[in-house]
Structure 1
Amino acid sequence: MTASPHAPVLIAEVIEALSPKPGETMIDATFGAGGYTRAILSTGAEVIALDRDPTVQPHADAVAKDFPGKFTLVRTPFSGLTEAFEGSGKARLDGAVFDIGVSSMQLDQAERGFSFMRDGPLDMRMSDQGLTAADIVNTYEHGPLAHLIKLYGEERQSGRIATAILRRRQSQAFTRTLDLAEVVEKALGGRRGAPTHPATRTFQALRIAVNDELGELEAGLAAAEASLSPGGRLAVVTFHSLEDRIVKAFFTERSGNAPGGSRHAPVAVETRKPSFTLLFKGAREAGEDELAANPRARSARLRAGVRTDAPVWRAAA
């Protein structure tokens, strides 16, 4: 069996939440190097894997060889989950797992442009289509650029960073990752012993914007709700607060645990039945052994639920 170059986080907890069984069908919405997929396939279940990254194909070929007839890869983002499942011809979907964000495998590939620690083209696309990070930093005006960095990077100095980017691009366009990282670092006054690189939040913001990660997450959760059969399990692993807020709000609302209005402003009685029951309260985190072996797990959070037989919740108009 081919080893995975990327260790999936919270793998034991994810498999416990999904509880895959022989003959069941599961979706791995973030195939990557196939870590979750292999663990699910090893239980006897079948997997439909999704990934918009064309570079994962060699890993998919290896999985298909090791588990013939049990695995299919569909090149699509989260928003294509329903179509991928319907195209499989399967009668029911018993589980789905999402591992949100950029993988260490992508960060390690300098040519992808995700890392501020390795020089590469300023790209950041998980697929091979759409705007690049270079397109954004070279064309956005100050206001929209500062807003993007603040919103998606939670960067308090977004205005100062946007000013530095616009000033520099007047003489030379940005094309390389280390070039942008240096400009951001100087704009924030250098590292000064900071535990994280000053460009961390800016690079996160650009990556999220380039790939519409939060929009795709919301669309993927809705697609999973629509596609999972009653009793189907949904497990979602997040790595930063923006993602986790979306997932937490989704499960809180869909499980009927959203807070009501105050006595001064009561809300209309909710008639929709919960479409999920929570597998456990709150989020699960990595244990000490996993943290020692895989530092990437430090910020990981797992939330999970079980699909009820209630109708799909439609977004408010």
Structure 2
Amino acid sequence: MASGYLCTVPEQAILLATGDDAASFLHSQLSNDVLKLGEKEARLATYCNAKGRMLASFLMWKSGANIYLQMTQDLLPAMQKRLQMYALRAKIKLSPATELFALGLGGSKAQAALAPWFSGLADLAVGGKLDATESCFGCVLRLADSLGQPRYQWLLAEAQALAVWPQLAAQLTAMPSEMWNLFAIHAGIARIEAATVEKFVPQMVNFELVGGVNFKKGCYPGQEVVARSQYLGKLKRRMYLAHSDASALAAGSEVFSSADPEQACGMVVNAAINPAGGVDALLELKSALINAGSLHVDSHPITLLTLPYALPNEEKTEEKAQEQAPASAEKQ
């Protein structure tokens, strides 16, 4: 896997936003800055309810005046309906971008495999977007590394994807599409699924640590709760990388600790089978209990692994929190 792999991206759908007000409307609804989203970048974002709970998580990018929101497939109909409902008189049209097909590539050889269609890949940083030298071959997004190796998502028409697959497969190891979810888990990037809608505020799944929340962008649904969670007091719940010997784990399943066996201490955010055995998962947990006793899901013991990024020291005095909080947060 380290040398290079190739797969289709599973269980994902893309919502296309067009119209004169597309950027300004989405900016007013999402947790990240849409107005400043450039042509050469991709950003994470979330859509929250009024209580700051995540309704969906997105990978978003821009092409011309068009804005694309990629999410888990089971959420697209509800997200399209909800966003369109709140658009009111805004000049925006939302429609599934069914013409786009997503290929996932990673490992040390992925850059060389993509080179025939993209120039400048060596300079493409995480969060970058690069258009193909020929427009019919779409664009590539540089995603967060996983297992110490780069990841790319190539978005193009299905016909072109079928055409380039043999050339890519000659250089990279073709893998089942489910492996893409495993790599996303090891990148520490949470994906909201139908089973976890409205279960978490962004910080509970480390979303602000991976660039999914902009605390200076202005109002959006749930912003007051998200800002208060960030600047006041201590964040008591975080997301952790874990392994289980179970044959499968489902998103939304409850996690229990032997230190407090009567009530759940967390929830499975995402999970994927590891070919080496068992299941790897992202778990949202009460931080106070991660070292207080053994963890388990459905009687299967849980072993915590190391995330690819550090969790901050959450201890804050009230005075320090007030110093850190921007004026906009205090007024929300």
Normalization by structure 1: what TM-score? 0.27
- The structure with the greater share of residues assigned to strand is 2
- Which structure dedicates a bigger proportion of its chain to helix? 1
